[in-house]
Structure 1
């Protein structure tokens, strides 16, 4: 055959020709210059990234007559013989078809013989992960301590399948995927050298479709050249690769963003009529939105574009669409891609996906509007309340009023921080309070707390852990709270107060009014009430309401207690 594929004709013959693997080639070149050559190498990485080519270049470099050099001269008999395959001391083995123990034993037996034509005998074992366990075991000892004239170079696309005992005996180099920019530059060089007429965007389309493999890119370029009529155009590249044109992606994305369902479905119909594969379409669309997101958030990032070309429509759309919308688009497309793998009706899934993309954005707009308006109103009301509290708060040194004004529905606040209850309300209960009523309420208090816990109201019941009844009349109870904040939270929760009243009514048969008071304020009100009662000569009720007297009565009983002023 007179014609050879481009990837064979333009196979790298020196480390400088290996595209996108500078981290590997630089290390190997330094090792060659300093003559620190290892006995075994492992080249791993995706297909078409230059593993086997680098292995053959290494074989030429170590056997070059001008050694030590960083590049083979490709002029001496050793380099020329290795290039055309006439040197028998460089042996390429395909492990996919020679993976048995016998083939490896044959290598082990022949490795002891010195090379015939060159200095080093080099074994290049491609797809080494295909060897069996027995073959790996047969290679193990030889790989670890080969003769001085032997070098092993193992190449694989799946290094995880190689035993660790093999990997540990080799210098490992990981080849990475080649960027679309580097692939495009290499194809431009080849096209210029071969006087090929081409459209630059066509080469960029092929480079993105190659998915990081230089060999795949050159194979696609070969097909595009055969398909074209003298000049490789963008349409030729799209037809060969099966990719979606940039205009179609922009048009479809614009229709989705503007919620034009009919236009989006019409564009999809055109693409499917052109023979585009639904699975490839979803993949290209996901990559398009990925590029849109990266360009919007990091426009200066290298190698941003994976699928999309950064034309004017692409840039305009990136300014209009929000990142949250792109997240939603990618999520829906990814779920559709998963579902399409297990169905024979890919077109239906695509149509439903496009409708969902359009309607999801519309639903978000409809739902978010009223919710945000309501949220803005609440925030505005809170800001007004905070402003009012700040304007009505008093400095620490100022004297606060003894009796703050009573609010119509909830207790007033002092200095915007402490919870204050109207002393008149508490004093009225003290005037009517009796010891019998208080003891009756206290006898049911423990059971009352248990009922709250049983009703799954533990968080509310926790507010009453440090609270206790301090006074009780025929229709009201004063509950003393140790902490102001607990008193405030309890008293401002009207549902909670109503629940307490209902439970106490079911226990005692009386519908009590609950009045909460912080412990500090309770002491002030109690002292004031005692002073008033003393002047009136009626201190019995006040004494019964004294917390110290109440605790003493609990401990020793009324008969053993003597109260003295």
Structure 2
């Protein structure tokens, strides 16, 4: 074949021709100039960034007798032979197909012999991470103590798979992805040399589609030339790469941002009808959102990366769309991209994605009550929150001081010390300052069910998120212990917080309103100290038991029944469940109720 691909024809033959790796090329040139070359190198980095090209240039430079500023002359017989692949002393090996122990042993044995034509034998092992464990072990000793005139250059895209014992015996150079600007300038140079007209925006599209690989960029450029009959246009570049026109991207993002579902679906249909790749479309959308975020932080950075191709509509988006909205869009795009990996119907996923992007998300719906509650509070509430926090910190300090006094006065009766404790101090195990409001608690227990309690516990985290910082700090040590259709009992682990909550009517009202938003109806809230709760619960059960026994014994005491009827009633009662047990199970759950016969 007379025609050669662009990436083969324009493969770099000098260090200065390697694009985007100035630090590495300058280091290698300085080592050649000073004669401080190593016996082993490791070139790592993404595909198409110049690893193998740099290895071949280094092989020429280390054997060239007309070296100038660290660059090979490319004119002597040795340089030409290496360029054409005819020099026996430069051996290039593909480790993917020669990854066994025997192949590496063969290299090790032949490395002992002196070079035949050049000054150095150079072994270039490409994709070295594909070697087996035994092959690495066979190579290890040779890398550690190689013959005098042998240089090993290892190239790989996955350095994490190479043993550390190998890496430590080489000089490592990490090749980075080539920037869009560098790829663009290299393609401009090549097309100018070939005297081919081109559209600058088309080259930008190709440079972005290459994703940092110069070889990929030249391959796409070659394909675009073939598609357009040696003419580079934006339309041809978009067709070859599967990318979406910038105007269509702007239109699509504008429509989903304004929640215009029908228009967005129509734009999507137009994109897919043009034969655009769905995965490529998602990549373009992610890149578009990424540029929006970066432009909001550093406009000059995006202008430089996009080579000045930033239109007014893009600038408008950057100022009108919030960062939170962009984060949610990127999340949806990433999730859909993962789901589309194994599907044969990407258009369905794209339609669902469009609806998700254009409609308010569930997250926004959940946050709406929170935002509404926050907006209702004036700026003065911030000062109130700060005051509350300061007061709580002061109380904690007082409590700490009182505990220390109790420890220091361990020989004194506890009751004497308790008399000096502030009302807002910590909990008392023997004395309780605030009596529970049984008139509110008992009606809740009378109709309480486990189902209602479980439902309240499920929404409890959401309920806490709807409170202010100070209120969350207060309710953090509280939890529901009983609930009915119309009320709930909340137990506090610390008595002083229970006392504070009992005096806070605003908090009780806010809890009822927030519960109404979450479950559709409000609950009357009753507070109780966690230490008091077992006693209150036992007292209610005992009182309920006495009432039941009274109600059951009443007919016997007031009616004159025959012995036979009395016997049959007693027998029948043995088959009926104990109403006290039934009520306890309804209140607290059958799995938590233990029945003991006296």
TM-score above 0.5: yes
Report the counterpart of residue 106 of structure 1 in structure 2: 106
1:129 alignment partner in structure 2:
129
Map 1:396-407 → 2, pairs under 5 A: none
- Between the aligned partners of 2:432 and 2:188, the Cα distance in structure 1 is 88
Measured against aligned partners, the alpha-carbon deviations of 1:500-529 in whole angstroms (never above 9, x if no partner) come to 9995996999xxxxxxxxxxxxxxxxxxxx
Count of residue pairs the alignment pairs up: 436
Once the two structures are TM-superposed, the CA of residue 460 in structure 1 deviates from its matched residue by 3.9
| Corresponding residue for residue 35 of structure 1 | 35
Deviations 1:280-327 (A, max 9, x none): 222221121111111122212268757995222212221211111111
- Matched residues in 2 for 1:66 and 1:275: separation? 54
Distance in 2 between residues matched to 1:505 and 1:10, nearest whole Å:
89
Residues in 2 aligned to 1:315 and 1:302: alpha-carbon distance in whole angstroms: 11
Q: Show the 5 A alignment for 1:439-518.
A: 456=481, 460=492, 462-463=494-495, 490-492=502-504
Distance 1:189 1:63 in 2: 29
Contact in 1 for aligned 2:492/2:498 (Cα 8 Å) = no
1:140-539 mapped onto 2 (5 Å cutoff): 140-301=140-301, 305=305, 309-360=309-360, 364=364, 372=371, 374-379=373-378, 382=381, 456=481, 460=492, 462-463=494-495, 490-492=502-504
Partner of 2:4: 4
**TM-score, with normalisation over the residues of structure 2?**
0.66
Runs of at least 5 residues in structure 2 that lack an aligned partner in the other structure: 386-421, 442-477, 482-488, 509-524, 544-598
Q: How far did 1:369 drift?
A: 7.3
Q: Is the 2:303–2:310 Cα contact (8 Å) retained in structure 1?
A: no
* 2:125–2:153 Cα contact (<8 Å) kept: yes
Structure 1 unpaired stretches of 5+: 387-417, 421-441, 465-484, 510-565
Quickly say closer, same or farther: Cα 1:322–1:492, change in 2 above 3 A. Answer: closer
Q: Which residue of 2 aligns with 1:115?
A: 115
Equivalent position of 1:436 in the other structure:
none
Q: Deviations over 1:409-447 (max 9, x none)?
A: xxxxxxxxx999xxxxxxxxxxxxxxxxxxxxx999699
> Matched residue of 2:334: which SS?
helix
What displacement does 1:496 show?
5.6
- Equivalent residues of 2:40, 2:169 under 8 A apart: yes
Partner SS state of residue 360, structure 1: coil
State which drifts further: 279-288 or 62-71. Answer: 62-71
Secondary structure in 1 aligned to 2:154? Answer: strand
CA contact (8 A) 1:61 1:69 kept: no
CA offsets, 1:423-480, max 9 Å, x none? Answer: xxxxxxxxxxxxxxxxxxx99969989x99998589646236xxxxxxxxxxxxxxxx
* CA 68–496 in structure 1, closer or farther in 2 if over 3 Å, else same: same
Q: Structure 1 CA distance, aligned partners of 2:39 and 2:430?
A: 90
1:153 to 1:505, Cα distance in 2 relative to 1, 3 A: closer
In 1, Cα distance between equivalents of 2:102 and 2:63: 29
Output the CA distance in 2 between the equivalents of 1:49 and 1:303: 24
Change over 3 Å in CA distance of 1:379–1:124 after alignment to 2 = same
Instruction: Tell me, yes or no, if the aligned pair for 1:463 and 1:490 is still in contact at 8 Å.
Output: no
Taking the aligned partners of 1:191 and 1:224, their CA distance within structure 2 comes to 12
Secondary structure in structure 1 of the residue aligned to 2:300: coil
CA drift at 1:190? 0.7
CA RMSD of aligned residues (A): 3.8
Change (3 A) 1:461 1:11: closer
Q: Distance in 2 between matches of 1:231 and 1:220?
A: 13
Q: What displacement does 1:32 show?
A: 1.0
Larger radius of gyration: 1
The superposition leaves residues 254-276 of structure 1 with CA deviations (integer Å, 9 ceiling, x where unpaired) of 11112211111111111111112
1:250–1:314 contact (8 Å) kept in structure 2: yes
**Change beyond 3 A, Cα 1:155–1:491:** closer
Q: Give, in whole Å, the separation in 1 of the partners of 2:117 and 2:251.
A: 63
2:53 aligns with: 53
Could you say what secondary structure the match of 1:379 adopts?
A: coil
